[in-house]
Amino acid sequence: MNQAVKPAALAVDPAREAEYRAIRLPEDHPPVKAGRVGVLLMNLGTPEATDYWSMRAYLKEFLSDQRVIETSRWLWWPILNLIILQTRPKKKGRDYDTIWNHEKNEGPLKTITRAQAEQTMAALRDEFGDRISVDWAMRYGKPPVKDALEKLLAEGCDRILLVPLYPQYSAATSATACDKAFEALMQMRWQPSVRVAPPYHDDPVYIDALADSMQASLAKLDFEPDVILTSFHGVPKSYLMKGDPYHCQCAKTSRLLRERMGWSADRWKLTFQSRFGPEEWLQPYTDETVKGLAESGVKKIALVAPGFSADCLETLEELDGENREIFMEHGGEQFAYLPCLNDSTEGMRVIEHIVRRELQGWL
């Protein structure tokens, strides 16, 4: 009677495994690189410059995505091309110019995402050597996802982990980033094995990192906020009604963070920003909440954006700029925007944790 193999007997020495996986080719065989593991960090995107045509190209790619705008194409096409793309690029270009990294001539999202990839690479290379490569890409704009995947393949990565840098899942963010990766895979003769890191909205490492970062930022203020707003990027309410889990995951992140920080529910609010168009979006709206708080007599508030892995236009210009003005103009006295995790020690702790967890069995 056969006996079950004990789990210990299944263990394979890493050196022997590497030897088994080594490719031995005939002398006349075309060059082949394989056996390495790749990690691709993916974020939303940024225009290449702040001028009209650069902004128009970026906005057209972004707003043409059916994951982002689910309105029927026959109705949306004339609105986008004949109205929005005629007026919006100039205005958004001015907004981007206020937060632009003029030293590197790029948006801050690109600067930060690159740094996140470089630090992740350095941390993993210390442990796994040249068995691993880490790169980064943008869903809209440059560097494109397809180019990043092809680069990893050229380096010999036959296993690739896709990491959408969105803590909360939405079809308009995580799914569309993966769509671009899958589109590229469809054109490849030799596809790599692929994993996708799941959303991490309730991961204890993520919640702890947010709390540590917030506490450090609050300690630098010369006032204590009466209210803290956790502001998440909004989506149309109809997306929630169709089954998108984004709203629920944002609410859970906010609740877990409040409990971790030890704040009472009456001093902590969940809001949604960046609505676009006439359709109802997830509520309460950040700008209306900020205005209402100021008008009700609240004098000191702080805003934080836990759904953004890196500071960008929506945090630096919209939250720290527009909403600061709204609060002060309606009776507020002290306002603070608390930065995103970015490539800080806390932020890198989250990314490295997610990557290491999802690479188990590959490294």
Name the band, by pLDDT with cuts 50, 70 and 90, for residue 30.
low
pLDDT at position 343: 98
Name the band, by pLDDT with cuts 50, 70 and 90, for residue 10.
low
Residues at the binding site for Fe(2+) are 233, 314
pLDDT at position 35: 87
Place of tokens 């590197």: 104
| 204-338 has the same fold as 36-200+345-358 | yes
Per CATH, the number for 204-338 is 3.40.50.1400
Selected from 3.40.50.1400, 3.40.50.1390, 3.40.30.120, 3.40.190.170, the CATH number assigned to the domain covering 36-200+345-358 reads 3.40.50.1400
**Cα gap 187→40, rounded to integer Å:** 18
pLDDT at position 16: 62
**Cα gap 231→340, rounded to integer Å:** 11
Let me know: does 218 contact 338? Beta carbons within 8 Å: yes
Whether residue 181 is predicted with pLDDT greater than 90 in this model: the reply is yes
Q: Is the pTM of this model over 0.95?
A: no
pLDDT (mean) for 138-146: 97
pLDDT (mean) for 250-278: 96
Compute the radius of gyration of the chain from its Cα atoms. Answer: 23
Residues at the binding site are 233, 314
E-assigned strands of the chain? 36-46, 132-141, 157-164, 193-196, 227-233, 268-273, 300-304, 334-338
**What digits encode the pLDDT tens for the residues 85-107?**
999 999 999 999 999 999 999 99
pLDDT (mean) for 233-247: 97
pLDDT at position 277: 85
Residue with more model confidence, 35 or 95: 95
Whether residue 50 is predicted with pLDDT greater than 90 in this model: the reply is yes
pLDDT at position 86: 94
Let me know: does 231 contact 158? Beta carbons within 8 Å: no
For residue 256, with 0-12 CB atoms within 10 Å meaning exposed, 13-18 middle and 19 or more buried, which class applies?
buried
pLDDT at position 13: 65
Q: Where in the chain are the domains? A: 36-200+345-358, 204-338
Tokens of residue 185, six digits:
């895979």
Whether residue 14 is predicted with pLDDT greater than 80 in this model: the reply is no
Average confidence score pLDDT of the chain: 93
Distances 100 to 85, 305, 317, 321 between C-alpha atoms, Å? 21, 19, 10, 14
